[in-house]
Amino acid sequence: MKKRVTLKGAAAAAMATAVFAAGTSVLAEQDPTVKEMVVNGEEVMTVVADPQPGVSELDKLYDGWLFRSEETQALQMDDFENPGMIFVEQAEEMWNTVEGSEGKSCASCHGDPSSMKGVRATYPKMSPSLGKLATIEMEVNNCRENRMGAEPWKYTGGKMTAMNALITLQSRGMPVDVKVDDAVRANWEHGKELYYARTGQLELSCANCHEQHYGERIRADMLSQGQINGFPAYRLKNGKLNSVHARFKGCVRDTRAETYKPGSQAFIDLELYVATRGNGLSVTGPSVRN
């Protein structure tokens, strides 16, 4: 029995090694001290030299933007070029649209979207009204269903992700500051466990790619630390804004594992954990990725 496990592990290790091309790190060329992200004239924190202890094995945190091509980086630095901003404009309209049995819009209660400043930097967190750990998507649907009498939006759907981008934009440049207190500690531990669990035929964990091999090429792509401070992310590949859980789903599928559903407790807990891995980086969504 023990022998079988060992063999299986060795075969998986060989497969995993084949996945990663012999890597030269981009971080040497793209020395973050000389590469600054300036979005619409404002500088953004792309590197954190002293991450919170006890959260991950990373000794520095890097924004996913640093790992993209110059062309893609340029798109994110100019709001007129950033294709994600079209969806933010659509969300502004939705913000002011009355919907549901109560005859209210988001603006009826929240006023200007700028009232959402700081929200994105602290989520996921305990929601007093839901009585559990909540993502921004859950808060939005809580308002829609229970405060507006409107239909909930699909968790990773276009409307939800656009609204999340509008809310996120209000915190742009603020440091991510997601707290782990007793109320959410069990969720955080669960998320951490998922992060380090090897899954799928390839037996790869999130950490295998995003902690041990960031800065290296994998197939045609360059691995980042898998941070979520840039979400929602506009992907050139699918031409739309992508939510955190949609990205998690794609990554799990790439390990050839059964994936969890967006909005599932597993992904909510994983989001909490991954968010804390990026504490200190700036909120940069909506970002642009390949």
Query: Which residues make up the interface to ligand HEC (CB under 6 A)?
Result: 19, 64, 67, 104, 106, 108-110, 119, 129, 136, 139-140, 143-144, 147-148, 163, 167, 204, 206, 208-210, 218, 221, 223-224, 226-228, 230, 233, 247-248, 251-252, 254-255, 270, 274, 289
The CA-based dihedral angle spanning residues 92, 98, 100, 103, taken in that order and rounded to the nearest 10 degrees: 150
* Long-range contacts, 9-13 (Cβ 8 Å, 24+): 9/203, 12/198, 12/202, 12/203
Cβ distance to ligand HEC smaller for residue 85 or 247: 247
Catalytic residue among 106, 206, 209, 251: 251
Of residues 186, 150, 172, 181, the one with CA closest to residue 232: 172
The span from the first CA to the last CA of the chain, in angstroms, equals 43
The verdict on whether 251 is a catalytic residue reads yes
Cβ distance to ligand HEC smaller for residue 48 or 228: 228
The residue ranges of DSSP E strands in the chain, in sequence order, are 37-39, 42-44, 47-48, 61-62, 125-127, 132-134, 217-218, 221-222, 233-235, 240-242, 287-289
The answer to whether 243 touches 160, Cβ cutoff 8 Å, is: yes
The answer to whether 227 touches 176, Cβ cutoff 8 Å, is: no
Cβ distance to ligand HEC smaller for residue 85 or 140: 140
User: Which residue's Cβ lies closest to ligand HEC?
Assistant: 64
Least separation, in Å, of the C-beta of 42 and ligand HEC? 19
Q: What's the token pair of residue 38? A: 């300036």
- The residues, any chain, with a CB within 8 Å of residue 201's CB and separated by 6 or more, are 15, 255, 256, 257
Least separation, in Å, of the C-beta of 106 and ligand HEC? 3
**What's the CA gap between 126 and 179, in Å, rounded?**
10
Least separation, in Å, of the C-beta of 3 and ligand HEC? 26
Cβ distance to ligand HEC smaller for residue 136 or 283: 136
Least separation, in Å, of the C-beta of 1 and ligand HEC? 27
Least separation, in Å, of the C-beta of 60 and ligand HEC? 15
147 DSSP 8-state letter: I
Active site residues per annotation: 251
